[in-house]
Amino acid sequence: MALGRTHDLVNLTALPLFLYFLPREFYVPFGVGYLVGTFFLSPDIDLPNSKPSKRWSLLRCIWYPYQSFSKHRGLSHLPVIGSLLRLLYLVMVALFLYFVLLGVVSLFDEGLGLYLSDFNPFYYLNELFRSEWALYWVLGVIAADTVHIVLDGVSSFLKRLT
């Protein structure tokens, strides 16, 4: 298995190759998704002491439940599926935190709670999911994961040869 530094370097080197095949208007969302996928949403996020986990700093605690049910090189290392699972997990965490915040605020300030309840996260998620920019952002995350997974496979294969 390749080291974290190697993953970062190979992923960054591969980014221009992906951009070559994309329409220019989607370079930014794809590139940002690719960088987020490389540095923060890597398949190695399922390891508590991996570089991607550490990069979350204080927020890395949101990944503890994910790490407890995801075995390393399990679902997390399946192309497309692993990426989408991590993104779905993040959406679920964000929704959970929103509803917890709504509940706590409503206990202390009913007016503010009513104001917060007017915010409909599902409406904004729906709008986001319909956006071409969001599609290219997700494709960037998936591309970064695919490079990571291929590098893991090549690295493991070469280690078995020696």
Tens of pLDDT, residues 48-99: 999 999 999 999 999 999 999 887 777 888 889 999 999 999 999 999 999 9
What's the pLDDT at 92?
Answer: 96
Measured between alpha carbons, how far is 15 from 74 in angstroms, rounded to an integer? 25
Torsion-angle region of 47 (φ positive above 0: left; ψ -120 to 50: alpha; else: beta):
beta
159 pLDDT more than 90 = no
Does residue 22 have a pLDDT over 60? yes
The amino acid sitting at 100 is V
d(CA 38, CA 12): 8
Which of 11, 10, 4 lies closest to 140, judged by CA?
11
pTM, two decimals, is: 0.89
Model confidence at 2: pLDDT above 70: no
* Concatenated DSSP letters of 84-139: HHHHHHHHHHHHHHHHHHHHHHHHH-HHHHHHHHT--HHHHHHHHHT-HHHHHHHH
At 30 the pLDDT is: 98
Digit-coded pLDDT (tens) for 100-130: 999 898 888 888 888 888 889 999 999 999 9
Helix (H/G/I), strand (E/B), else coil: 148:
helix
**pLDDT recorded at residue 65:** 94
pLDDT at 7 over 90: no
Please state, as a whole number, how many other Cβ atoms lie within 10 Å of the Cβ of residue 17: 10
Report d(CA 84, CA 78) in Å as an integer.
10
